[in-house]
Structure 1
């Protein structure tokens, strides 16, 4: 009797997963790629940095040399203790379209990136803002033009893709990039449905009016992280938000190289997500639960060889539609190689997330530098 219930539970879980992967994620995975006409609207590109001297030397020249007619580069030094400010000052002297915003430590907002970003946004002279991080670089000289092409009279928030570099022969790197692929598939798909819930600061654009409409970061200023996803969760809706996934619009970052540093990064992300709107917390939590239950139920039924042919057929069916859905998404986001390892990576990732949830119950993660 108990095994009959477990089998029915597995069937229900796989049906829910079918809905997610085909009918929700499919909104992005199977979406047609559109070529939009370029718009030459003035853009303020904003980069906030704290002790990022080495990355600044490598990546700021790539931003300055973007092929775009009218843009400024707003560089925010958030009370750095290395040579970040000096490097920014050199860029400001060298390029007429570079503006430096110097942020000193403020007792009320000590070490708070949102405070520094607010000053940078207020200093920006253009209404359209495009954000990336100091440790990121655009994949092409047409990053600005591809992101800005998605702005319309109604679409004032643009969610882009922030990828991670590939590291040869690194299984951790494949895990990180698969998790990034899955996360992007989720937030792109929900945005296509009309329920945007997050974006990444590595590649995000919006109008100033959206920032001031929700009083900037004031409602979550005390939460050290979330200048990107919490802002989008609050300000974005089905009418004002769109997505950009053309390959020339991607940005890339150097991924974590040890499990410990990546695990700590995931702890911060999960801690921030608990402040999302109720529906968004529910759908993300529900998705994780059905992922976890699939492996538990399938493992138990197969271990006891209960209706093993039926169970095996259900498992194979499940992997067929998830592989197809994520495979199409991976093709769009240039991450096809991680799909070869998909079943192994997925199991590892699900139980890592469980570890993150448990760890965060007993200790608070560390945020901005």
Structure 2
């Protein structure tokens, strides 16, 4: 019985930690009301780095080129593609004067490194305000550039946006991918609002060109093949220079992976990059994951043995009430309310999924960004 008494008190502590995360940390984003800002019409360079993305460019470039914005250019970076990516870019450029093409040839020192290609694109950009997305993404409205650029001011030189994945009816994998993306966004938006910005997604990210050069670009982590978005943000973000944009018209939507193996490889790359975050951010993220893992594990054990089961049920209920309250509000902001009904199942699967990724990454590291 002593063992179960110890587990019971540990469980109480874990529930308290979970409530702090969901009720206070993530609650910061759930309760935020973003102030309206006026359009600034500052010129913007939209930057897209593409490697073997010919078909995606044909599909998504029109929605970028048709943005309702006064002054913008589109910098298309062909990162040594082996398909018709360059030819597609050139075809679009014949009809659009605001397209600039950067054709990157591989060099031995930076073979397969997206950051090298992006650096060349950033240097070629005409304007100081840079807005990034991927070739497999499309803005959900004609006001994407406008809404993202509105968040800049004299102090805010870094803007974090949201990049959801398309909804596919009847797909379990789609639910899992969208839930993981949603939870990641809740975390990075919440920490940004608390002045502890640790990451962003390159599908929808903006910053000043001067910020890039002041940080010496990607040089501090150039040898890490991924992380052109999150590692750079982890390096340069501060409480004063970071803003978030959660207007529905500012979202970019991507096509999700079609198989578990493709998604598994993608998430392995993301998790391996997170090991390079600042220590305080790694501790905060690890504590949240461990508290989730222990919450489920100890809940199951204590309910099976019926140890103080009335209190255990009460604590489980309290935790889920706080979690659902926060996530429902956050999902309403990010237009993901259909996920909330499945939260317990999706959360349990995601915890297990992340555990296997961690184990796999201990033995090997994913290579190349494509």
TM over 0.5, shorter chain: yes
- SS, match of residue 355 in structure 1: helix
Q: Within 5 A, what are the aligned runs for 1:108-147?
A: 108-147=109-148
Match of 1:10 in 2: 11
Q: Within 5 A, what are the aligned runs for 1:354-369?
A: 354-369=355-370
Q: Which moved more, 1:32-41 or 1:147-156?
A: 32-41
Q: Normalising by the residue count of structure 1, what TM-score does the alignment of the two structures yield?
A: 0.99
In 1, the alpha carbon distance for the partners of 2:290 and 2:83 equals: 44
- Superposition deviation, residue 35 in structure 1: 2.1
In 2, the alpha carbon distance for the partners of 1:172 and 1:34 equals: 35
The 8 Å contact of residues 268 and 367 in structure 1, kept in 2 or not, is answered as no
Match of 2:157 in 1: 156
In 1, the alpha carbon distance for the partners of 2:95 and 2:353 equals: 46
In 1, the alpha carbon distance for the partners of 2:178 and 2:367 equals: 22
In 1, the alpha carbon distance for the partners of 2:368 and 2:11 equals: 38
Deviations 1:106-141 (A, max 9, x none): 111111100000000000010000000000000000
In 2, the alpha carbon distance for the partners of 1:367 and 1:170 equals: 28
The 8 Å contact of residues 198 and 230 in structure 1, kept in 2 or not, is answered as yes
Match of 1:54 in 2: 55
Match of 2:206 in 1: 205
The 8 Å contact of residues 198 and 233 in structure 1, kept in 2 or not, is answered as yes
In 2, the alpha carbon distance for the partners of 1:146 and 1:73 equals: 17
Q: Which moved more, 1:188-197 or 1:2-11?
A: 2-11
2:278 counterpart of 1:288: no
2:303 counterpart of 1:297: no
- Superposition deviation, residue 366 in structure 1: 2.9
- SS, match of residue 224 in structure 1: coil
The 8 Å contact of residues 159 and 243 in structure 2, kept in 1 or not, is answered as yes
- Superposition deviation, residue 105 in structure 1: 1.2
In 1, the alpha carbon distance for the partners of 2:64 and 2:34 equals: 25
- SS, match of residue 264 in structure 1: helix
List structure 1 segments (4+ residues) > 4 angstroms apart after TM superposition.
none
In 2, the alpha carbon distance for the partners of 1:121 and 1:145 equals: 20
In 1, the alpha carbon distance for the partners of 2:36 and 2:9 equals: 45
Deviations 1:41-91 (A, max 9, x none): 010000000000110000011111100000000000001111100111112
Q: Within 5 A, what are the aligned runs for 1:1-369?
A: 1-369=2-370
- SS, match of residue 162 in structure 1: coil
- SS, match of residue 73 in structure 1: strand
Q: Which moved more, 1:31-40 or 1:309-318?
A: 31-40
> Which sections of structure 2, spanning at least 5 residues, go unmatched?
none
In 1, the alpha carbon distance for the partners of 2:228 and 2:364 equals: 22
In 2, the alpha carbon distance for the partners of 1:339 and 1:197 equals: 25
In 1, the alpha carbon distance for the partners of 2:173 and 2:342 equals: 11
The 8 Å contact of residues 112 and 368 in structure 2, kept in 1 or not, is answered as no
In 2, the alpha carbon distance for the partners of 1:340 and 1:191 equals: 27
- CA RMSD across the alignment: 0.7
- Superposition deviation, residue 33 in structure 1: 3.3
- Superposition deviation, residue 34 in structure 1: 2.6
Q: Which moved more, 1:201-210 or 1:259-268?
A: 259-268
- SS, match of residue 224 in structure 2: coil
- SS, match of residue 164 in structure 1: coil
Deviations 1:266-323 (A, max 9, x none): 1101000000011011101111000101011111100101111111111111111001
In 2, the alpha carbon distance for the partners of 1:179 and 1:24 equals: 18
Aligned length: 369
In 1, the alpha carbon distance for the partners of 2:122 and 2:93 equals: 17
- SS, match of residue 253 in structure 2: strand
